[in-house]
Amino acid sequence: MEVFKMHCDNELEKWRSETFWHKEPETIAWINSFKPESVFFDIGANIGIYTLYAAVKKHTVISFEPMRNNFIRLVENIILNKFDNVIPLPVVVSNGYGKIEFSYNDDRVGASGGQAGDIDGWYKYITHSVTLDDFMSYNPNYIKIDVDGQELRIIKGMEHILYMKMIDSCLVEIEGKKDKKAIRKIFEKYGYTADNEFNKLKYHSRNRRGSKGPENMVFTRE
């Protein structure tokens, strides 16, 4: 079993560490399926728990995390493990390039829920927005998108990657039935399917979250 270290200075970080192996079994199984020495894009990396897991398995990881406190901890966790195969980037991933407002209500290290665009929040600042198509030169093999509701924008900004069939698969945490339908349509347009083993796991996190919660869905190349 691959082991990595992480800072746990508050209860939320401790919770993320303690629940790692059973919170999202499908995500663990998906990362375990990666081909050796792959390139993995982790969008919404938070403090880097899945980044660290992929890195310890010798994959190259590009981690995107715009929340300032989380990004600082992400970098600290990379340093703690002495990884030289992770590139952390403090930017918003969306469907366009330029300046963008980013806001969030919870500034604890390990918190989630940050949103890009003209959205109310206790904490706001201007940062940069990029698209995944801007990073095609890294030749990604796998992409994880976990951004609390902005998935569709990101996917619209990676359509050239999909058109070129660069990636083997993509895991998306989807919020809402409307977005789920639109996201599936885009992936199917480019020859990716949700009919795979990861979405059929007995202990999939959708069973814990229920029908009203977000759902992790993996799209694999047909």
For 76-97, what is each residue's pLDDT tens digit? Answer: 999 999 999 999 999 999 999 9
The sign of the CA dihedral 117, 123, 125, 131 is negative
C-alpha dihedral (28, 31, 94, 106), degrees to nearest 10? 30
CA distance 70 to 119: 20
Non-local CB neighbours of 132 within 8 Å, separated by 6+ positions: 41, 43, 93, 140, 143, 154, 157, 158, 161
Average pLDDT, the chain: 93
Q: Taking residues 26-43, what's their average pLDDT? A: 98
Is the CB of residue 163 less than 8 Å from the CB of residue 189?
A: no
The residue ranges of every structural domain in the chain are 11-97+132-221
pTM of this prediction? 0.94
Fold held by 11-97+132-221: Rossmann fold (3.40.50)
Q: Is 122 a residue whose pLDDT tops 90? A: no
| Percent of the chain predicted with pLDDT > 90 | 76
Q: How confident is the model at residue 118 (pLDDT cuts 50, 70, 90)?
A: low
The whole-number average pLDDT for the span 165-185 is 93
Confidence band for 170, pLDDT divided at 50, 70 and 90: very high
Predicted confidence (pLDDT) at residue 1 exceeds the cutoff of 70: no
Please give the average per-residue pLDDT across 19-38, as a whole number.
97
SS (H, E, C) the chain: CCCCCCCCCCHHHHHHHHCHHHHCHHHHHHHHCCCCCCEEEEECCCCCHHHHHHHHCCCEEEEECCCHHHHHHHHHHHHHCCCCCEEEECCEECCCCEEEEEEECCCCCCCCCCEECCCCCCEEEEEEEECHHHHHHHCCCEEEECCCCCHHHHHHCCHHHHHCCCCCEEEEEECCHHHHHHHHHHHHHCCEECCCHHHHCCCCCHHHHCCCCCEEEEEEEC
